Chains A and B, each alone.
Chain A
Amino acid sequence: DQQVKQNSPSLSVQEGRISILNCDYTNSMFDYFLWYKKYPAEGPTFLISISSIKDKNEDGRFTVFLNKSAKHLSLHIVPSQPGDSAVYFCAASVGFGNEKLTFGTGTRLTIIP
C-alpha cells in the first residue's frame, strides 16, 4: 500500500519557468511533510518541509503548499534552473522530529536550457 504517491515519474520544464511537482498521501496521521532532492550517485538531500499547521512554506525559489483536505502537497520551483534537474522525493511522517519517513516514488525533473 503506497501511502505517499507521486504520480508523475518525470517532468520537463524550460529554464526560467515554474516547475510544479505534486504529491498525494493517504494516511491521515501524517502531519509533517518534506521534499528531498537526489542527484545521481548521491544520497537524497533535504530541500524543504512543512508542518500540517501551515498551508505554505517558502525558502528562496522553493515553495511547498499543503492542502490537508485533499491530502495533497506540491513543490513549486521558480525560476527553474539547470541545476534543479534531479529526482525529487516527497516524504511524510507522523510527528515532527520523527525521522521514520515514508517516501513517494519520486519525480525526475529535467530543466531544459
Chain B
Amino acid sequence: DTGVSQDPRHKITKRGQNVTFRCDPISEHNRLYWYRQTLGQGPEFLTYFQNEAQLEKSRLLSDRFSAERPKGSFSTLEIQRTEQGDSAMYLCASSEENTGELFFGEGSRLTVL
C-alpha cells in the first residue's frame, strides 16, 4: 500500500466556483479524517468518518462544505461557492480504530482567486 493519496494536489479556482477533493485512505483503515491548514497555522480538524458514517463535524465546516465516504473507502470533500478565505491546504488522514496515530496524505492545496 502506498499510503494516503489525495487528488488533485493543487487547485486554483475563481471565487464562487465549486471544487471537489478526493482522498484514498490506507486500505485497511476504517477511520478517515479531513483537516485544513492555513499559512502559519497547524492543521485544524474538519470532520471524520468511521467507515461510511460521518461521526463528527467541526464548526469550521460551514454549510458550503460537504464530505462523503459513500462505501467506506475513498472520501470526497466538496466546497461550494468558494471564497478567498477557503484558500488552504486540505489534508486527509486515515487510521485504524483506537491506535491514536494518523497517517496523513500530502494534501490538496486550494487557491481561490
CB pair B99–A97 under 8 Å, yes or no, is yes
Pair count A-B, CB < 8 A: 61
**What residues on B are CB-neighbors of A49 within 8 Å?**
100-101
Tell me the interface secondary structure of chain B in the complex: loop
**What residues on A are CB-neighbors of B41 within 8 Å?**
105
Q: Does residue A7 face the partner (Cβ distance < 8 Å to B)?
A: no
Q: Does residue B104 face the partner (Cβ distance < 8 Å to A)?
A: yes
CA distance A37 to B16 in the complex (A): 34
Q: Does residue B48 face the partner (Cβ distance < 8 Å to A)?
A: yes
Q: Does residue A1 face the partner (Cβ distance < 8 Å to B)?
A: no
A43-B4, A99-B95 as given contacts; A89 in contact with B104, CB under 8 Å: no
Residue count of chain B within 8 Å CB distance of chain A:
25
Q: A9 → chain B, closest Cβ, in Å?
A: 8
- Mask of A47-72 contacts with B, CB within 8 angstroms, 1/0: 00100000000000000000000000
**What residues on B are CB-neighbors of A41 within 8 Å?**
106
CB pair A97–B45 under 8 Å, yes or no, is no
18 A–B contacts from the bound complex (CB under 8 Å):
A6-B42, A32-B100, A34-B100, A34-B101, A43-B4, A43-B107, A46-B102, A49-B100, A96-B98, A97-B97, A97-B99, A98-B100, A99-B95, A99-B100, A100-B48, A103-B42, A103-B43, A105-B40
Q: A71 → chain B, closest Cβ, in Å?
A: 17
CB pair A44–B40 under 8 Å, yes or no, is no
**What residues on A are CB-neighbors of B105 within 8 Å?**
43
Q: How large is the interface on A (under 10, 10 to 19, 20 to 34, 35 or more residues)?
A: 20 to 34
List the 5 closest A-B pairs by CB distance, nearest first: A103-B42, A43-B104, A97-B98, A46-B101, A44-B104
Q: A37 → chain B, closest Cβ, in Å?
A: 11
| B residues 63-113 touching A (CB-CB < 8 Å) | 91, 93, 95, 97-107
